[in-house]
Amino acid sequence: MKLTPIIGLEVHVELKTKSKMFCGCSADYFGKHPNTHTCPVCLGLPGALPVPNKRAIEWCIMIGLALNCDIPLFSKFDRKNYFYPDLPKGYQISQYDQPFAINGSLKLKVKNEKLKKEYEKTIRIRRVHQEEDTGKLIHQAVNGEKVSLIDFNRSGVPLVEIVTEPDFESAEEVIEYLKKLQQIVRYLGVSDANMERGEMRLEPNISLTPRISNFQFPISNENLPKYKVEVKNINSFKFVEKAINYEIIRQTEILEKGETPLQETRGFVEVSNSTVSQRTKEEASDYRYFPEPDIPPFRWIKSQISNLKSQMPELPDKKLKRFGKEYSLSPSDAEILTRQREVADYFEKAVNDGKKFKVSPKQISNYIIHKKPNMKEVLPASLVQSIVQSTRVADVGEDKLRKVIEKVVKANPKAAQDFKKGKENAIMYLVGQVMREFPQRIDAEKIKASLLAKLK
């Protein structure tokens, strides 16, 4: 029985807004002293009310637009009710049935290392919605007693959840998607998407299905397997790969025995690179969603959305294409330069500065890619100057050059003879020898021309 993995992905991205999602507290919580970024709202004190952060919502919609989503003109927040000590209100403000963005897609270029081929694949985005982060539990000993402490600094930090359709069939595809998503949110400047800091969190859901004859992605709902395993607690691309591959093997073994894997939530365990069961379907929570009465629903007008669209920077795919065309760069160079928006911007500034010095985009591209200048310290204009200097040709007088050439030809009779006999390479040796006679840099073409004149 040939089985194919069917994988969907939920990604949480923490936005880097100045303030939290529903209050004025600073959202910059990482590494701060516990419970110093709090107020009645994010502590969920009696009577405190959420007031939505406009910037966060705009950014959420921008992520949706960047993922080619539709932006419904009506949207609202809902309450997701569940108990956990780090959830101060007893519910999370999230979006249920009418999120800010729906029905998007993201095109991937996937390299299959084993088959040594590259292919394109489009992943459908089901929804992009806005919610708030929870506090954090800290388990430690205080005065010798084991206790659980709660730090509410993270409580209410804006999160955007991006949910795909089950369109992936390998860990490679998932990683490619994640890299691309990370690149997009960084390009938009809405999140640093730093995995180690928990600014991007991944939850793949994995199942396997027999590969039938006319099988192809995307898979219609009725052909999806009857079960699904969700894996949580993954904080690196490497671990998501390991978790998926572990699940594929684990589920294959179960299916090959003729059994069906349990529908459940599993946690990834770093030390063993495996997953363990956390919660089965029977224990699944009923979140009792209902519309958040404290926040009026949103009714957008089309111009608001197009206005947001016009504020968006050029995205990586478009930039890559343009770089290739506009600056005649190879696809691989263009790809390297557009990986990060800062590098791309730096490159374009340098190209602009280089115009009047006749420094070509190709020269700048080569310099950036190979010499890796520190872009924080070296201004694009200084980079151009470095290139100009390194290629400057000293103007030595014709007489001086002729004298040196005569000297070099005399000192290297064999090379001169070789050239005359037709050995083209010999001329370059002589050019080199001439150059060595000068302390400054001289145009090689000019030396070559003079040498040819002398030897003919």
Partner 1 sequence: MLNKLTIKQAKEGLKKKEFSSVELTRACLDKIKQTDDKLNAFITLTEKEALEQSKKADSLLAFQGETLEAKPLLGIPIAVKDNFSTIGIRTTASSKVLDNYIPPFDSTVVAKLKKAGAVILGKTNMDAWAHGSSTETSDYGATRNPWNTSHLPGGSSGGSAASVAANQCIAAIGSETAGSIRQPASWCGVVGLKPTYGRVSRYGVVAMGSSLDSPGPITKTVEDGALILEVLAGKDPMDATTSPLPVGTYLSDLSNLNEDFVIGISDEYFITGLNPEVEKAVKKAIEKLEEMGAKIEKIKLFDPKYAIDVYTIIQRSEVSSNLARYDGIRYGNDRSFFGEEAKRRIMFGTHALSSGYYDQYYNKASQVRSVIIEDFKKAFEKVDVIVAPTSPSLALPVGSTKDQAMFGELADVLVEPSSIAGLCGINVPVRFSKSNLPIGMQIIGPQFAEKKVLQAAHKYGQETQNEEWRKKEPNL
Among residues 36, 90, 179, 260, the one that binds partner 1 under rule CB under 8 A: 90
> Binding to partner 1 by residue 36, rule CB under 8 A?
no
Q: Does 149 bind partner 1 (CB under 8 A)?
A: no
The answer to whether residue 283 forms part of the interface with partner 1 (CB under 8 A) is no
Q: Which among 148, 172, 185 has a CA at the least distance from the CA of 66?
A: 185
Gap between the Cα atoms of 186 and 279, Å rounded: 34
Residue from 104, 103, 124, 136 nearest 14 by CA = 136
Can residue 286 be called a binding residue for partner 1 (CB under 8 A)?
yes
* Neighbouring residues of 174: CB distance < 8 A, sequence distance ≥ 6: 7, 9, 168, 204, 240, 241, 244
Is 269 one of the binding residues for partner 1 (CB under 8 A)? no
Q: Does 293 bind partner 1 (CB under 8 A)?
A: yes
38 vs 338 by CB, closer to partner 1:
38
Count the neighbouring beta carbons within 10 Å of the beta carbon of residue 128.
Answer: 27
When the beta carbons of 74 and 83 are compared against partner 1, the nearer one is: 83
Residue 47 makes contact with partner 1 by CB under 8 A: yes
Other CB atoms closer than 10 Å to residue 105's CB: what's the count? 14
- The answer to the question of residue 74 lying near partner 1 (CB under 8 A) is no
b/e sequence 32-53, b meaning 16+ C-beta within 10 Å: eebeebbeebbbbeeebebebb
- The CB-side HSE value for 33 (13 A sphere, CA atoms) comes to 1
Q: Could you tell me the CA-to-CA distances from 303 to 62, 101, 159, 300 in Å, in that order?
A: 14, 16, 25, 8
Residue choice 81, 252, 263, 273 for contact with partner 1 (CB under 8 A): 81
Q: Residues 389 to 448: which contact partner 1 by CB under 8 A?
A: none
In angstroms, rounded to a whole number, what is the distance separating the alpha carbons of residues 379 and 289?
52
User: Rule CB under 8 A: is residue 154 a binding residue for partner 1?
Assistant: no
| Residues with Cβ within 8 Å of residue 88, at least 6 apart in sequence | 42, 43, 44, 135, 152, 155
Q: Closest distance between partner 1 and the C-beta of residue 132, in Å?
A: 14
Question: Measuring CA to CA, how many Å separate 169 from each of 1, 35, 342?
Answer: 16, 42, 32
Of the two residues 54 and 376, which places its CB atom closer to partner 1 in the complex? 54
- Per rule CB under 8 A, is residue 147 in the interface with partner 1? no
By CB under 8 A, name the one of 18, 32, 36, 49 that touches partner 1. Answer: 49
Shortest separation between residue 86's beta carbon and partner 1, angstroms? 10
Q: Which tokens sit at 331?
A: 């696809």
Among the residue ranges 46-54, 68-76, 299-307, 392-400, the one whose residues contact partner 1 (CB under 8 A): 46-54
- Helices 444-455 and 425-436: angle between axes, nearest 10 degrees: 120
What is the sign of the dihedral through the CA atoms of 6, 9, 78 and 84? positive
User: Which residue type occupies 33?
Assistant: H
20 is an interface residue for partner 1 by CB under 8 A:
no
Does residue 158 belong to the site contacting partner 1 (CB under 8 A)? no
Stretch that binds partner 1, among 58-66, 83-91, 236-244, 314-322 (CB under 8 A): 83-91
- Residue 45 sits in the site that holds partner 1 (CB under 8 A): yes
Residue 31 within binding range of partner 1, rule CB under 8 A: no
Tell me if 385 sits within 8 A of 396, measured CB to CB.
Answer: no
Q: Decide: helix, strand or coil at residue 372.
A: coil
- The yes or no reply on residue 263 touching partner 1 (CB under 8 A) is no
- Please report how close the Cβ of residue 343 comes to partner 1 at its closest, in angstroms: 41
Can you list the positions of beta strands (E) in 200-334? 200-210, 229-232, 264-269, 274-280, 290-291, 298-299
Kindly state whether residue 51 participates in binding partner 1, applying the rule CB under 8 A: yes
Closest to partner 1 by CB, 51 vs 394, is 51
Q: Output 30 or 287, the one with its CB closest to partner 1.
A: 287
Residue 297 lies near partner 1 (rule: CB under 8 A): no
For residues 3-30, one letter each, b for 16 or more C-beta atoms within 10 angstroms of the residue's C-beta and e for the rest, the string is: bbbbbbbbbbbbbbbebbbbbebebebe
Judged by CB under 8 A, which of 58, 270, 294, 345 binds partner 1? 294
45 versus 249: smaller Cβ distance to partner 1: 45
Among 10, 12, 121, 150, binds partner 1 (CB under 8 A): 150
Choose the stretch contacting partner 1; rule: CB under 8 A; options: 26-34, 78-86, 117-125, 161-169: 78-86
Q: Which is nearer to partner 1, 51 or 212 (CB)?
A: 51
79 scored as a contact of partner 1 (CB under 8 A): yes
Our finding on whether 373 is near partner 1 (CB under 8 A) is: no
Among 25, 66, 67, 91, binds partner 1 (CB under 8 A): 91
User: Which among 312, 313, 308, 317 has a CA at the least distance from the CA of 122?
Assistant: 317
Query: For residues 311-370, which are near partner 1 according to CB under 8 A?
Result: none
Q: Could you give the C-alpha distances from 192 to 14, 26, 178, 286, in angstroms and in order?
A: 8, 16, 14, 33
- The rounded distance, in Å, linking the Cα atoms of 239 and 200 is 13
In this chain, which stretch among 44-52, 61-69, 220-228, 344-352 interacts with partner 1, using CB under 8 A? 44-52
Residues that bind partner 1 (CB under 8 A): 40, 44-52, 79, 81, 83, 85, 88-91, 150, 286, 288-291, 293-296
